[in-house]
Each structure stands twice: as structure tokens, then as C-alpha cells.
Amino acid sequence: MEVLIVTGMSGAGKSKAMNALEDMGYFCVDNIPPYLIFQFASLCEQSNEISKLVIVSDSRGGEMTAEFENSLEDLKKNGTDYRLLFLECSKDKLTTRFKETRRKHPLLDSAAGTLSEAIDKEKLLLAPVKKRADITIDTTMLAPKELKNMLDTFFLENARKGLLINCMSFGFKYGIPQEADLVFDVRCLPNPFYIPELKNLTGLDEKVRSYVFGFDEANKLLQKLEDLLAYLLPLYRREGKSQLVVALGCTGGKHRSVAFAESLHEFISNSGGRVVSAHRDIGKS
């Protein structure tokens, strides 16, 4: 039986993730206390009708750290095939989501009724669990459909096995993505923002791509990045890494970084790799 444990910050999208996984044929159960994860998985393993199980467990179930890690160790000793998916989100976005939905944060009472303190407390509580995650997804800038697409890529049965590379563009003015494994700065290249006819376009437009790669230094940089990834990706695969986020940053995350992320996406795809692209800040002004 395949077991997927889903956890993460309250408000980060665990319910939406569970709905998407249910559509893929997983048997999903929500709000299992951490100390019951192993017992529940063992019970389901005895059923011939359940081949793919999703267990959602988080701070709603009480004490996380010791009980959660004990359950994971029990699963490992039992030889259970499990993966841990962690969903995270920025504090500002979580605050907005709770205010919009008017839902109560599960740790609000223990945080003296302060939402900000509740979010900080939960982040600290989940930090050891996050370190054990096989897959981490930051939902800060993801619409529900985009989250579903990412989950499809990871968990659909017909998806190719192995390392999934996410070529992500971003703007340094909005901060480096927390989930980035490799970060490359392309602000050294000429900026299309200062070309009036290109300013309001993005790196997805051919005119911007032609401008960016119309300079020798851009093509040389792209070649060096491709050479580096061609060397690194087999090493990451050999180590058993399931997810790699390659982040390309420019000033606003709209032109140069997008063009480079798409070019690297094309390179990795043509090399036979599993790859997606995401443009975190492309819609910001």
C-alpha cells in the first residue's frame, strides 16, 4: 500500500490538496492525530480495497514533534512505503486567508487570541516535521488549479518516476523563494523593462525573449547554466532527491528571469527530465 502523509501550515491548502488527491484515486482521511498515524495506516494495510492512502495530520491533532516523528519511525520499521508532503505559505498570505474565510486558527486559543502569534507558534511547532518532508510545496502564490497541477505531476500514476525539477522565476524585490534549492541571479543582463515597447510584456512573449537572448552574454550564461544542470541533475537523482527548485531571479520577476526559466525548462524537457515551470511574480506590477 502506498501511503502519503500530508501536513503543513494551517491555511496552506491541505484541504484542497486532499480533494485533488482524492480525484486521483487516493483514499483520504483528514485530521488524524499524529500518534494514530501508524495504527491507522496498519489498519488500512489489512484491507485489500485500499492501495493508495492519504493521511492528513497537523497541529489540530495536538502535540506534533515527538508523536509525529515516532509514527514515521514506526512506519519505517514496518517497511511501509510512505512519503511526506509538506505545504507551507507566507505569514502575510496566511493572515489574509484566515481573515477572508473568518476561520479560527487551531492554535489561536493557546496564542492568547492573536493570529500572528498563532501562525508563528505553528511554524515553530512544524519546523522539525518540515525537515523530514520528501516534497515541499509553497502555496503562497498558487491558485487552487496550479496546486492541483503540481500534485498531478507528483502523484498521478502515469507520471514518470524520479526527480521533478521546478524552474521558477522570481523578482529579488519580493524576496528569494523559500523553497529554492539553487538560486541564479540574471540581473547582470540588459533589462527589457527600460524598453518602452517591452515594458508591459513578459518573458513569455517572443519579443522579450528575442531581446534578452539578443546579447552574447545572455546566451553564454544560459549555456553555462545548462552545463551546470547537466552535471548536477544526475547527482541529485543518484542521491534520491524527489524535488529540485531552480530559481532564476531578476529585479521584478517579469522579464529576464521568466525568459531564462522557460529556456531551462525547454532544455531539461529535451534532455528527458521531469520539469515544470512557475513564475512567482510575473503578475505583479
Q: Which residue has the higher pLDDT, 156 or 234?
A: 234
Report the residue count for the chain: 285
Residues 169-196: tens digit of each pLDDT: 999 999 999 889 999 999 999 999 999 9
Q: State residue 1's pLDDT score.
A: 86
Enumerate residues 6+ apart whose C-beta is below 8 A from 134: 83, 84, 85, 242, 243
User: Which positions ≥6 away from 251 have C-beta within 8 Å?
Assistant: 171, 172, 173, 187, 191, 193
**Which strands form 27-29's sheet, in the order they lie side by side?**
27-29, 52-56, 2-8, 81-88, 135-138
| C-beta separation of 82 from 5 below 8 A | yes
Dihedral sign, Cα of residue 221, residue 227, residue 232, residue 237: positive
- Average pLDDT value over all residues in the chain: 90
Q: Give residue-wise pLDDT tens across range 40-56.
A: 999 998 888 898 999 99
243-250, strands of its sheet edge to edge: 182-185, 243-250, 164-171, 274-279
Say what the pLDDT of residue 177 is. 92
**2-155: what fold?**
Rossmann fold (3.40.50)
The ranges assigned to domains in the chain are 2-155, 164-279
Give CA–CA dist 156/152, Å, rounded: 5
Q: How far apart are CA 32 and CA 6, in angstroms?
A: 10
pLDDT at 142 over 90: no
* 10, pLDDT greater than 50: yes
Distance of CA 45 to the CA centre of its chain: 28
**3-class secondary structure, 238:** helix
How far CA 211 is from CA of 187, 204, 218, in Å, comes to 14, 12, 10
pLDDT tier for residue 91 given thresholds of 50, 70 and 90: very high
Among 27-31, 79-83, 120-124, 153-157, the range scoring the smallest mean pLDDT is 153-157
Assess whether pLDDT exceeds 60 at residue 240: yes
- Cell numbers that stand for 137 in this block: 510545496
Percent of the chain with pLDDT over 70: 95
Averaged over 30-46, what is the pLDDT?
90
Predicted confidence (pLDDT) at residue 27 exceeds the cutoff of 90? yes
pLDDT at 184: 98
What pTM was estimated for this model as a whole?
0.63
**62 band by pLDDT with thresholds 50, 70 and 90:** low
